[in-house]
Each structure stands twice: as structure tokens, then as C-alpha cells.
């Protein structure tokens, strides 16, 4: 682990500006980078913590604020925010985050990955389908989003981490993802934690499962190292 620092970051997107949370190594030089996509709650402390953890592994991590300042801990409000999110505008915001990372002096512009959780898991896979600069995608229990026929656009590998007891992201959908990736010849690993439920990685959630979350973290670290450092 390396020493890190963090800050709010403003970047160009949607013909204007967007904001996000940037965590990065203190040490100089260029580093691979990872876009970290929020759950349906918004850009909260949990997502900032994940960005910090990724930065401590030697990456520049940027979590764009796709709700533009809105954050909630109430499921009903989170659902409303998620439903109001326009997918095309979210893609533009995420593309803006990628471009902002590529423009930085401390980032290896050809080494950009993405990870996300719940809503962000679906958006992470979508970003990989839409932006060829993204060469590693690691969706955690990503909700269905976009056209899986577009996985053939993915440049690089995919690590999908899912929950066997998930009532939102079903086993049938996970198999659709696996089949689409295999059919397109995309390098991938799909792992399902049989006894885990949706949000098992979120240590602020009642669904948190420490053992499965720990295993998923190790898989994520190995995947990012292989795809962005190998």
C-alpha cells in the first residue's frame, strides 16, 4: 500500500462541467487509473472509501458524481434518483471522467479501468462497451443496462462479481452476461458468491459479508494488476 491524498475534482462533461472525488498516490510518476462508479445512493462515503483503497494500491481513482450533488441513505429516494438518471448523460459524465484522467500528468493514459457497484456495476460494463479507452471493467452485482450485443466493443478484460441470493441481479442475467462475453471473445471471469446477497461488498450495508467481500477485493486487485500493469 502507498500513501495517498484526495480532493474534489471538476472536469468537462455534457458541454459543461461535472465533479468527482479523486484519490491518488502521493508518490510521483505515472500510474494506471480507475473510474469508480457509485451505487444508487450517490457519491457517498462508502464510494470515497473504495476510491481511497484503490488509490492505496497505486492507482489514480476518480469517482464521478453522477447525481450532481444528490446523496441519500433512503431506499425510496435512491430508487427515484436512479430512475431519474439519464443513461446517455451518465455515459457522457463517465467519458468526461476518463478524459480527465487521461489528461493528468500522473496517469498512464493507456491504462484506464473501471469498477462500479449496483447501479454503478451496470454503468461500469456500459462504459467499457462505449469507451475503447477503458481496458478493464469490474462490475460488482451490476444491474442490467445497455445492450449486451455491444460487449463486442470491449477493449480488454471483464471481471464480474455477483451474488447468488441477489433478487435484483438474477442468475439468469449473470448467465446472459457470461454468454455475451464468451460469444464476443472477450476475456472474462464471472464469479458468483452463492450465499451472498446484493451489496455484499458494501461494509455499511446489512448485506455485507466480510469473507466474500475480502475475496472479491483480492480478485479485483489481481484483475486490475493483470489488466493495467501486466
- Would residue 191 show up in a list of annotated catalytic residues for this protein? no
Among 15-24, 102-111, 112-121, 211-220, the least confident range: 15-24
| Buried/exposed 160-194: b ≥16 CB within 10 Å, e otherwise | bbbbeebeebeeebbeebbebbeeeebebebebbe
Neighbours of 26 (CB within 10 A): 9
Active site residue 45: no
Q: Tens digit of pLDDT for each residue in 192-217?
A: 999 999 999 999 999 999 999 999 99
pTM of the complete model beyond 0.75: yes
pLDDT band for position 230 (50/70/90)? Answer: confident
Active-site position among 93, 166, 197, 212: 166
Residue 31 annotated among the catalytic residues of the structure: no
pLDDT digits (tens, 9 = 90+) for 53-90: 999 999 999 999 999 999 999 999 999 999 999 999 99
- pLDDT single digits (tens) 8-47: 999 998 778 899 999 999 998 999 999 999 999 999 999 9
**Catalytic-role residue among 65, 93, 197, 198:** 198
Fold of 4-228: Rossmann fold (3.40.50)
Catalytic residue among 65, 118, 188, 212: 118
Amino acid at each position: 500500500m502507498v500513501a495517498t491524498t484526495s480532493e474534489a475534482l471538476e472536469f468537462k462533461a455534457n458541454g459543461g462541467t461535472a465533479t468527482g472525488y479523486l484519490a491518488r498516490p502521493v508518490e510521483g510518476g505515472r500510474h494506471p487509473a480507475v473510474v469508480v462508479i457509485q451505487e444508487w445512493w450517490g457519491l457517498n462515503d462508502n464510494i470515497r472509501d473504495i476510491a481511497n483503497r484503490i488509490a492505496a494500491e497505486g492507482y489514480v481513482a476518480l469517482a464521478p458524481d453522477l447525481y450532481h450533488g444528490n446523496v441519500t441513505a433512503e431506499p425510496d429516494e435512491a430508487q427515484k434518483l436512479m430512475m431519474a438518471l439519464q443513461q446517455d448523460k451518465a455515459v457522457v459524465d463517465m467519458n468526461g471522467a476518463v478524459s480527465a484522467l487521461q489528461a493528468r500528468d500522473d496517469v498512464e493514459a493507456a491504462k484506464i479501468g473501471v469498477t462500479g457497484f449496483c447501479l454503478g456495476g451496470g454503468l461500469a460494463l456500459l462504459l467499457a462497451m462505449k469507451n475503447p479507452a477503458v481496458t478493464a471493467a469490474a462490475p460488482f452485482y451490476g444491474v442490467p443496462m445497455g445492450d449486451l450485443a455491444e460487449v463486442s466493443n470491449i477493449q480488454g478484460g471483464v471481471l464480474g462479481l455477483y451474488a447468488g441470493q441477489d433478487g435484483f441481479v438474477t442468475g439468469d442475467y449473470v448467465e446472459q452476461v457470461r454468454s455475451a462475453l464468451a460469444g464476443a471473445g472477450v476475456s472474462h471471469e464471472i464469479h458468483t458468491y452463492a450465499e451472498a446477497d446484493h451489496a455484499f461488498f458494501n461494509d455499511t450495508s446489512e448485506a455485507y459479508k466480510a469473507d466474500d467481500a475480502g475475496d472479491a477485493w483480492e480478485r479485483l486487485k489481481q484483475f486490475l494488476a493483470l489488466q493495467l500493469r501486466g
